[in-house]
Amino acid sequence: MSFSNTRLIAFDLDGTLLKEESVLELLKLQESPAKKLELAKKIIYYTKEKAIGAATEMNMLSSMLSGMEAEKYRQRIDSFELMQGADYVAKKLKKEGYALAILSDGFLMVANHVKRKLNFDYVFANELEVKNGILTGKLITPYNEKMPYSGCINHNLCKRKVLTDLCRNLKVELKDVVAVGNGTSDICFLDIAGKSIGFNPNSTIEEIADVSIKSNDLKDILPHIIN
pLDDT 10s digits, 179-199: 999 998 899 999 999 999 999
Burial class (CB in 10 A: 0-12, 13-18, 19+), 102: buried
> Is residue 27 located within the same domain as residue 13?
no
Domain boundary among 61, 76, 91: 76
Q: Residue 61's pLDDT is what?
A: 93
Range of the domain at 38: 23-76
**Do the beta carbons of residue 195 and residue 66 sit within 8 Å?**
no
pLDDT at 2: 36
pLDDT in tens, 104-152: 999 999 999 999 999 999 999 999 999 999 999 999 999 988 887 777 7
Residue 6 predicted with pLDDT over 70: no
Whether the predicted pLDDT of 159 surpasses 90: yes
Number of domains the chain is built from: 2
Q: How far apart are CA 182 and CA 104, in angstroms?
A: 12
Annotate the chain with three-state secondary structure. Answer: CCCCCCCEEEECCECCCECCCHHHHHHCCCCCHHHHHHHHHHHHHHHHCCCCCHHHHHHHHHHCCCCCEHHHHHHHHHCCCECECHHHHHHHHHHCCCEEEEEEEEEHHHHHHHHHHHCCCEEEEEEEEEECCEEEEEEECCCCCCCCCCCCCCCCCCHHHHHHHHHHHHCCCHHHEEEEECCHHHHHHHCCCCEEEEECCCHHHHHHCCEEECCCEHHHHHHHCCC
Q: Are residues 100 and 192 in the same domain?
A: yes
Does residue 156 sit in the same domain as residue 102? yes
Backbone angles phi, psi at 181, to 5 degrees: -160, 180
Same domain, 96 and 41: no
Of 76, 91, 114, which residue constitutes the final position of a domain? 76
Share of the chain above pLDDT 90, in %: 78
**pLDDT band of 30, cuts 50, 70, 90:** confident
